[in-house]
Structure 1
């Protein structure tokens, strides 16, 4: 299920990254479950999406070949720590708990946690606003942690392996709402199905212990040189307009954040 990405460096990449290549090939870990519009496979197992384009450009600038290595989300940090993969680039939020186990690059996009609800419900993104509601949450995410901390006393939580499964049950009326990454549900919200049944009710209140500082590349704590080069590549993409070029086909607003 690996897909080899191109590794032809741009002129900018050549000038910025003249240091020796740290590895011939990097295995890039991402969730085996689809996460559109960031990444998803087609029927032939070929992956596409915003994050796939970002990975391709990052690896170009690192002058390295990269292979996508889909991993069950709950096992992705252990896979990094044991060397089965070399980087996590799969919409992983930078949180204090994760930062105790692995290192993170600078953020490469940011997205708040929010609630999408059935139009027929009166769900709002507060503990009082979800009272008695059936809420979908994805296993192993910071949205799950947030919901368990703030909503478990008032709502009925149902855990899913993928966001797509949550949204399917929401459309079917088996859930009143889902707690999810706001950018990840944009495609659904803007779809004909999403617009007919559901609406975005807003972001949840901040929680410094759980809320993300943004989405970063996950790295082993000892890979300091690779971290520096990844950070430099992200900064260069932002500076030369490549980041905007990658983003434009997927989003018509700024996903990097302030």
Structure 2
């Protein structure tokens, strides 16, 4: 009997050891990403598992910050309301840091920055300027900085707004629109595809407008959630310093996505 009790006590001690070794449980953070695919940054497979450069970076940031991050897909045009209402705790989804958005939410430091470009039909010769876009049918994704930019800088264009960028790309292929405006990296896979190569080309970068296009891409937080923001900022800096950021980026890009 004594031997049995000793074995039970030793077993209980062995079970308790790993539990006691952990000083605390990682903080659970619901990370909002757009439910719409946005390759090469984020896209789900048939089982609902997400992959892409931004997903890999998010996981690296969360690991560095000792956060238990749970991906929570939300429609893009509802992602800020979802954050403010508490449905999610952080946005990590190619959201540009703009003056208007900073009125509603807080941002981390940037974790990448790429230009906005116009892609159009090869058969048409025009530039991405106010005069060049006059009379063009221009496709943009809803509730993006690119929609805002187009309304401000291309007033003579006829805008067609889409839920997903891929829908605009397909309408460009079919000739239902003349051009689309989006992030350069988001459009590159389309330009590299057989359809994209056959029909379209980059017409150029749009003129800078920091008020609309922002100062880079950052993670979004509820106002006042300073502790989480501080952890994420420190983690972004750490993965850039320890080589993790570059290691992940080199799998996807042949240039420095962090930007100037």
TM-score, normalization by structure 1: 0.89
2: CA distance between counterparts of 1:188 and 1:250?
15
Q: How much does 1:249 deviate?
A: 1.5
- Superposition deviation, residue 130 in structure 1: 1.1
Q: Deviations over 1:146-172 (max 9, x none)?
A: 0011112x1111000110100011111
Residues 165-220 of structure 1: CA distance to partner in whole angstroms, max 9, x if unpaired? Answer: 00011111111100111111111112222112111111111123212100000011
Matches of 1:247 and 1:20 in 2, distance apart? 31
Give the one of 168, 171, 174 matched to 1:169.
171
Pair 1:56 & 2:59 matched = yes
Deviation, 1:61, is 0.9
Aligned to 2:138: 135
1:96 aligns with 2:99: yes
Residue in structure 2 matching 1:234, options 223, 229, 236? 236
**8 A Cα contact 1:123 1:176, kept in partner:** no
Instruction: State the SS of the aligned residue for 1:209.
Output: helix
Give yes or no for contact 1:29–1:71 (8 Å, CA) kept in 2. Answer: yes
Deviation at 1:46, TM superposition (A): 1.1
| RMSD of aligned residue pairs (Cα, Å) | 1.4
Q: Spell out, residue by residue over 1:17-45, the C-alpha distance to the aligned partner (whole angstroms, 9 max, x if none).
A: xx977x63110001111100000111111
Structure 1, gaps ≥5 residues long: 1-18
**Alpha-carbon distance in structure 2 between the residues aligned to 1:193 and 1:232:** 42
Structure 2 residue 31 is matched with structure 1 residue 28: yes
Deviation at 1:123, TM superposition (A): 2.7
Check the 8 A contact 2:62/2:232 in 1, yes or no.
no
- 5+ unaligned residues in a row in structure 2: which ranges? 1-22
- Select the residue among 148, 151, 155 that pairs with 1:148: 151
* Counterpart for residue 3 of structure 1: none
Verify the 8 A CA contact 2:36 2:164 in the aligned structure 1.
yes
Q: What is the count of residue pairs matched by the alignment?
A: 238
> Aligned equivalents of 1:188 and 1:115: distance in 2?
13
- Counterpart for residue 248 of structure 2: 246
Q: Tell me the alpha carbon deviations over residues 44-88 of structure 1, each in whole angstroms, 9 at most, x when there is no partner.
A: 111110011011111111212111111111111111111110000
Give 2:46's aligned residue.
43
CA contact (8 A) 1:123 1:177 kept: no
Contact 2:65 2:234 in 1 (8 A): no
For residue 110 of structure 1, report the CA deviation from its aligned partner: 0.3
Q: For the Cα contact (< 8 Å) 1:136–1:166, is it kept in 2? A: yes
Which protein shows a greater Rg?
2
> Which whole-Å CA distance do the structure 1 matches of 2:176 and 2:101 have between them?
32
Indicate which of 98, 108, 111 corresponds to 2:111: 108
SS at match of 1:130: coil
1:236 is displaced (CA, Å) by 0.9
Aligned-residue offset at 1:94:
0.4
Tell me which residue corresponds to 1:203.
205
